């Protein structure tokens, strides 16, 4: 799952557009060339990803929803053993479909005070503040629009209550292991001893099962990747010829890294924001990583970033886990 890193183009400011341009041009000068996956999510990208989540090959959403629907009671009991009452902060909340069942159970037992959804999309925050209290009477929603670390700091300044931070959907997989360690360490620096962190991890499994999830037969993931080139064309005055790039996913069972590339089918020049980028025939453009983990790797990541592993919740196939860590 990739939605927690979403960067929505709807209503973006000139400052955000300039950051998009800078990241694109810098990424295309790297070796190998790359684009940042957080920019997948314009309106079309959002719609395509919703389709991906319903593809038969894409097991991740179904596995995590099984955990959250079926084990909400056990998860809340475990949370309350560490903090009887807390604020819930969700990074990359999206439509809150993943956290809905936990929110409902937390309200039922009186374990939560305020829900702080964090998202870079103003539109999503506005929708959550309007829709969630209607679905969950008694829920206090205080949306925070901005970057994760800045908004997490803002939530701490609003209330001094213990915090449960949620980072769901295997969004941690959008980082390399080194980047994930850096990210979790930064999270820990924003939290207090005793605060809780819940993260979704996709576990290693049959390599073909993993590869199929990023190469669906309907070609939706291919369209999802190519849409970023279309977005660059539209927003940065680019002229990518989408027909001259092919989607190529890979999975390395030794490292757990599932990567997606767009491969140039010919020698070609692309113009973006007045700059020229030249691709060789068969040159790969790195689009995203979806890192898969073992239980041992997850525990090591938690310990090295300043957390104490508390509990792991699995789906029935043990393909996915939502992990609870506590700040040391």
On whether both 7 and 134 belong to a single domain, the answer is no
- Given this model, what pLDDT does residue 98 score? 86
Any domain includes 99: yes
Measure the CA–CA gap between 230 and 272, rounded to whole angstroms: 12
**How many helices, marked H, and strands, marked E, lie in the chain?**
11, 13
Any domain includes 66: no
DSSP 56-112: TT--HHHHHHHHHHHSHHHHHHHHHHH-SSEEEEEET-TTSTTTHHHHHHHHHHT-E
Measure the CA–CA gap between 66 and 247, rounded to whole angstroms: 30
Any domain includes 9: yes
Any domain includes 283: yes
On whether both 147 and 170 belong to a single domain, the answer is yes
On whether both 258 and 156 belong to a single domain, the answer is no
Structure tokens at 133: 């209290």
Any domain includes 141: yes
pLDDT digits 0-9 by tens, 197-219: 999 999 999 999 999 999 999 99
- Given this model, what pLDDT does residue 11 score? 55
- Given this model, what pLDDT does residue 3 score? 43
- Given this model, what pLDDT does residue 288 score? 97
Structure tokens at 264: 């140039």
On whether both 198 and 83 belong to a single domain, the answer is yes
In the block, residue with structure tokens 């043990």: 318
On whether both 176 and 234 belong to a single domain, the answer is no
On whether both 22 and 113 belong to a single domain, the answer is no
CATH of residue 176? 3.40.50.150
pLDDT digits 0-9 by tens, 43-65: 899 889 989 999 999 999 999 99
Measure the CA–CA gap between 207 and 215, rounded to whole angstroms: 12
- Given this model, what pLDDT does residue 300 score? 98
On whether both 200 and 214 belong to a single domain, the answer is no
Count the domains in the chain: 2
On whether both 47 and 80 belong to a single domain, the answer is no
Length reported for the chain = 328
Neighbouring CB atoms inside 10 A of 319's CB total 21
Is the CB of residue 289 less than 8 Å from the CB of residue 174?
A: yes
| Radius of gyration for the chain, computed over Cα atoms and rounded to the nearest angstrom | 20
- Given this model, what pLDDT does residue 16 score? 84
* Straight-line distance from the first to the last Cα atom of the chain, in angstroms, rounded to the nearest whole number: 28
Is the CB of residue 115 less than 8 Å from the CB of residue 90?
A: yes
- Given this model, what pLDDT does residue 140 score? 94
For residue 313, the number of C-alpha atoms closer than 13 Å in the C-beta half-sphere is 25
- Given this model, what pLDDT does residue 15 score? 85
On whether both 287 and 299 belong to a single domain, the answer is no
Beta strands 320-327 and 284-291, pairing class: unpaired
Any domain includes 100: yes
Per the DSSP assignment, residues forming a β-bridge with 135 are none
On whether both 218 and 306 belong to a single domain, the answer is no
- Segments in the chain below pLDDT 50: 1-10
Phi, psi at residue 125, to the nearest 5°? -60, -45
Any domain includes 318: yes
Helix-, strand-, coil-residue percentages of the chain, each rounded to 5 = 45, 25, 30
Q: Range of 184's domain?
A: 71-205+294-327
- Given this model, what pLDDT does residue 12 score? 66
Give the Å distances, CA to CA, from 51 to 121, 209, 223, 258. 20, 18, 11, 20
- Given this model, what pLDDT does residue 38 score? 87
- Given this model, what pLDDT does residue 43 score? 85
On whether both 121 and 195 belong to a single domain, the answer is yes
Any domain includes 179: yes
On whether both 231 and 279 belong to a single domain, the answer is yes
């Amino acid at each position: 799952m990739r939605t927690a890193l979403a960067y929505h183009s709807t209503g973006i400011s000139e400052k955000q557009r300039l950051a998009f341009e800078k990241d694109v041009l810098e990424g295309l000068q790297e070796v190998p060339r790359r684009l940042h996956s957080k920019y997948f999510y314009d309106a079309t990208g959002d719609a395509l990803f919703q389709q991906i989540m319903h593809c038969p090959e894409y097991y991740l959403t179904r596995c995590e929803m099984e955990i959250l629907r079926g084990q909400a009671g056990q998860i809340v009991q475990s949370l309350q053993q560490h903090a009887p009452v807390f604020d819930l902060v969700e990074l990359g909340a999206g439509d809150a479909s993943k956290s809905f069942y936990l929110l409902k159970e937390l309200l039922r037992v009186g374990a939560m005070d305020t829900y702080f959804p964090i998202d870079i999309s103003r539109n999503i925050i506005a929708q959550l503040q309007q829709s969630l209290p209607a679905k969950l009477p008694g829920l206090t929603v205080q949306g925070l629009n901005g970057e994760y670390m800045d908004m997490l700091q803002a939530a701490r300044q609003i209330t001094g209550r213990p915090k449960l931070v949620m980072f769901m959907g295997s969004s941690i997989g959008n980082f390399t292991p080194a980047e994930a360690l850096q990210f979790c360490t930064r999270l820990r620096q924003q939290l207090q001893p005793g605060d809780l962190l819940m993260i979704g991890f996709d576990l290693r499994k049959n390599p073909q099962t993993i590869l199929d999830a990023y190469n669906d037969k309907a070609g939706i993931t291919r369209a999802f990747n190519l849409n970023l080139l279309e977005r660059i064309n539209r927003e940065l005055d680019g002229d990518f010829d989408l027909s001259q790039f092919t989607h190529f996913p890979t999975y390395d069972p030794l490292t757990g890294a599932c990567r997606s590339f767009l491969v140039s089918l010919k020698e070609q020049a692309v113009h973006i924001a007045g700059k020229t980028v030249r691709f060789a025939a068969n040159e790969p453009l790195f689009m995203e990583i979806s890192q898969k983990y073992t239980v041992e790797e997850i525990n090591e990541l938690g310990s090295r970033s300043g957390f104490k592993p508390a509990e792991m919740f699995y789906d029935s196939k043990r393909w996915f886990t939502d992990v609870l860590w506590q700040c040391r």
